[in-house]
Amino acid sequence: MNKIFVVSGPSGSGKSTLIKMLTKEHDCILFSVSHTTRKEREGEVDSEDYYFISRKNFTNMINKDLFAEWAEVHDELYGTSINEIEKKSTGDSILILDIDVQGAEIIKDKFTDSLHVFIMPPGIVELEKRLMKREKKLNSEFRKRLITAEEEIRIGESGFYDYKIINDDIDESYNKFRNIFRKYMRSVLLPDKNNSQGAGK
């Protein structure tokens, strides 16, 4: 069984922050490093945050069927390789995917045991502030992310996701996020013990 914990939400909603906090506390977590055609941001590390590749190489990977899922987001291509899933989601590891709503739908179809969490910003004004804090200026990346956010929030609210967290106070959100993860972790790493309790979703 592939153990896959999917986190989605608009850019700037706090996914990376929550995932980093969770990873520090749980040795069983591995992070799925996606391939992308977007440019590296200051402070990002190639092969740790993303595999930064050219559009030509990304298209080659699509043609060779190397992706479990891929999508175009904010005019750039992003994808999770099959290799990443096969390498990191078996045994005693749980793989965390930070992917958009289109990718999450594909993963849910292919991996029916995966769990899906949506991180919602407390509002568009707060999302703008958080994106500003990260991007430092009103660049085109910032604008594209705000435009996409409303559509993503609509999908997040549609009932597709197993859980939804409104990330207002970070400590409260982390507490909820950790509880959801731990329930999933118990259901997939100790399935026999939990069968009688109906753990999981």
Question: Which residue ranges make up the site for ligand 5GP (CB under 6 A)?
Answer: 8, 11, 34, 38, 69, 71, 73, 78-80, 98-100, 102-103
Q: Report d(CA 67, CA 9) in Å as an integer.
A: 21
Q: How far is the CB of 47 from ligand ADP (least distance, A)?
A: 18
What are the C-alpha distances in Å from 159 to residues 55, 116, 154, 162, 184? Answer: 33, 11, 10, 7, 19
* Residues in contact with 96: Cβ distance below 8 Å, sequence separation at least 6, in sequence order: 5, 6, 7, 19, 22, 23, 29, 30, 31, 32
Please, which residues bridge with residue 73 across strands?
76
Q: Rule CB under 6 A: say whether 16 interacts with ligand ADP.
A: yes
Q: Rule CB under 6 A: say whether 45 interacts with ligand ADP.
A: no
- Residue 79 interacting partner from ligand 5GP, ligand ADP, none (CB closer than 5 to 8 Å by kind): ligand 5GP
Cα of first residue to Cα of last residue in the chain, in angstroms, is 16
- Residue 194 interacting partner from ligand ADP, ligand 5GP, none (CB closer than 5 to 8 Å by kind): none
x-or-dash string of contact with ligand ADP, 171-200, rule CB under 6 A: --x---------------------------
Phi-psi bin for 126: left (phi > 0), alpha (psi -120 to 50), beta? alpha
* Entry field: residues in the chain: 201
**Residue from the set 3, 8, 9, 94 that interacts with ligand ADP by CB under 6 A:** 9
Q: Rule CB under 6 A: say whether 156 interacts with ligand ADP.
A: no
Stretch that binds ligand ADP, among 81-89, 107-115, 129-137, 175-183 (CB under 6 A): 129-137
Q: Report d(CA 187, CA 201) in Å as an integer.
A: 9
Q: Rule CB under 6 A: say whether 170 interacts with ligand ADP.
A: yes
Residue 111 corresponds to which tokens in the numbers above? 């991996």
Give yes or no for a contact between 67 and 80, defined as CB atoms under 8 angstroms apart: yes
**Residue from the set 2, 3, 6, 15 that interacts with ligand ADP by CB under 6 A:** 15
Residue 11 or 187 having the CB closest to ligand 5GP: 11
**Sites for ligand ADP among residues 56-95 (CB under 6 A):** none
Give the binding site for ligand ADP (CB under 6 A).
9, 11-17, 130, 133-134, 167, 170, 173
